[in-house]
Chain A
Amino acid sequence: MSEQLDWVALSGRRAKGKRPEFFDEPALDRLYSVVFALAAEVSALRERQDTVERLLDARGTLRREDIEAYEPDRAAGAERGLATRAYIARIMRGFQQEVEAMAADDPPIMDVVEQLSRG
């Protein structure tokens, strides 16, 4: 084949077409991109650690190619899937609770303070 491609640089190429600005402050758009890329990396790290533990449990030793070749069976896949679901629930709690709050329509806390402070 021809000369080696710079796959790291090329992989980040943008898609043609103007990107929507979701927030008034552009820094917030950039920050979302960073935070959730990091969230994915933490998830991948956790999964890798789980793989290492399972391989050590089963064999007592470890080779790096075993990590790359590891494919969870059905039970392990479900356990890891549940762990990923729980991880996402933890990092996304603020969003999830905002949805709950929209449904709940709580009055301002000062209303409650005043109500309970009345003699």
Chain B
Amino acid sequence: MADDLPPPYTALTRHPMMPRTSHDEAARFNFLTHFNRYLSGTIGAGNKLAYDKRVLPAFQAEHGRDPEHRYEVRDAMNRDPWHRMWSALKRNSMEMRQHTGRQAVLRQLDELDAMAAQFNEHSGMLELDPAVEQPPYQTAVDIHCQPGGYHSEERAGDVTVGANYDVGLFATTGGALGGLNDGGGQAVVEWIRKERPDWRPRRILDIGCTVGHNAVPIAQAFPDAEVIAIDTAAASLRYGAARAAGLGVRNIRFVQASGEDLSRWADGHFDWVQTTMFLHELSAQSMPKILAEANRVLAPGGLILHIEQPQYTDEMPLFEQFMRDWDAFNNNEPFWSAMHGQDLKQVMAEAGFPREAQFVAGVRAVVDPAIFPPAPDGGEEDYGRAAIWNAYGAWKPLEKAAAA
């Protein structure tokens, strides 16, 4: 019966930059890990029951029709007492995760900042550019309720937000991302090794890398490649570069830059452009710009790959779309809903990736099965949080680039 128990927090790999948790901080994360699984698993089914048994019938009685959009489902469900309680539980769980992480990080910030500064000074893997502005889609709200978002500082040059992100991902995802929270990046590596076993990319760009937990496994898998990991947020990059250095990775550089302006790199510079759980953090204006820039810097024959939760389609029931939208309205993910509602293939096509060159593949977190149980799926899926993703990608055509 205990096969699907999440591992204890102490099973996480303590890389040098990982904030040290006290006994009780780890225990709080253990509670939250179990609690999150309980909310999505054991009592998550209450939302569908409430919808089927009373919310949908009441809507039909009032309007004489079924809901036609996930927002109509949301308006109706937000009046339902069960969904309100469940949402309050889930929101509190997120806030407690942030509070626990920040207590751990801030009480040892002097040590963390000093260690990061030392790693970054010696590795040469961090390149900051204070001229890079924080885009409005990163500053409008603090994304996923992380105080300070990815970019803010408690004091000049600190690593608080990056360290807090790393220290608490385990609890947010119910322990499903593996010992280094890198199950997403590992999933990408596993996919590419099956898809093109002999492919040897030389230059790889990861856009929106935050702390690099998904870019580092790619650098480790392709040690002869040069990986550039960019983000607009210096506070995350400082931690990410030091984290990578602490893990002994040398072929990655963390560069402060916006995906909207990749002008420092020539056309066709990269063999592979990667984003992981990034597109939903953007805006309707910036996403096409970033995809067009990604297309420009990608070499003919190169790979673009975006890891995301599945897009909403007409085939996806409105109730599921509504549940997947929960984070957009309750966990500060303001572009989540609109992004997932877009026809990503069309957006990619308009950015220059022909439809016939595109593909969609399913990937799931790759973790050490000796320590980490399989991520819950199927009936227990944690809408929008499950470590099961779609990879939206394209191999850039050779002939089209030659003609251009």
Contact = CB atoms under 8 A, between A and B. Distances in A.
Contacts of B46: 95, 98-99, 102
B249 interface: no
Interface string B1-41: 11001111011000000000011100110111011001000
A77 to B, nearest CB: 4
Contacts of A20: 87, 91, 329-330
Contacts of A44: 24, 27-28, 31
Contacts of A80: 8, 30
Nearest to B22: A68
A98 B82 contact: yes
Main secondary structure of the interface of A (DSSP, over half): helix
Contact of A33 (B28, B84, B95): B95
A96 B43 contact: yes
A85 B145 contact: no
Given A32-B92, A40-B31, A102-B53, A77 B155 contact: no
B12 to A, nearest CB: 10
Nearest to A71: B10
Contact of A17 (B32, B82, B89, B145): B145
Nearest to B100: A40
A72 B6 CA distance: 13
Contacts of B24: 44, 47-48
A11 B99 contact: yes
A89 B31 CA distance: 12
Interface string B225-249: 0000000000000000000000000
Nearest to B107: A7
Contacts of B86: 95
Interface in A38-72: 39-41, 43-44, 47-48, 51, 67-68, 70-72
Contacts of A68: 22-23
Contacts of B87: 20, 22
A18 B383 CA distance: 22
A32 to B, nearest CB: 5
A99 B49 contact: yes
Interface residues of A, number: 54
A115 interface: no
B27 A7 contact: no
A84 B30 contact: yes
Contact of A5 (B27, B109, B329): B109
Given A13-B148, A36-B93, A40-B32, A72 B49 contact: no
Contact of B142 (A2, A15, A43, A51): A15
Nearest to B11: A77
B2 A82 contact: yes
B31 A15 contact: no
Contact of B42 (A47, A48, A96): A96
Contacts of B42: 89, 92, 96, 99
A66 to B, nearest CB: 10
A7 B106 contact: yes
Given A5-B155, A95-B85, A17 B27 contact: no
B158 to A, nearest CB: 9
The CB with the most chain A CB atoms within 10 A, among B34, B102, B155, is that of: B34
Contacts of B146: 15
A68 B110 CA distance: 20
B382 interface: no
B103 interface: yes
B363 interface: no
A10 B102 contact: yes
B85 A22 contact: yes
B149 interface: yes
A118 interface: no
Contacts of B110: 1, 4
A18 B260 CA distance: 28
A11 to B, nearest CB: 4
A8 interface: yes
A81 B2 CA distance: 8
B142 A105 contact: no
B360 interface: no
B7 A77 contact: yes
Nearest to A80: B8
B27 A43 contact: yes
Contacts of B23: 47-48, 51, 67-68, 70
- Across the A-B interface, the 10 shortest Cβ-Cβ residue pairs: A17-B141, A7-B106, A44-B27, A15-B142, A43-B31, A11-B102, A22-B88, A81-B5, A47-B27, A99-B46
Given A2-B155, A81-B2, 6 more contacts: A7-B109, A11-B99, A16-B332, A20-B91, A20-B329, A89-B38
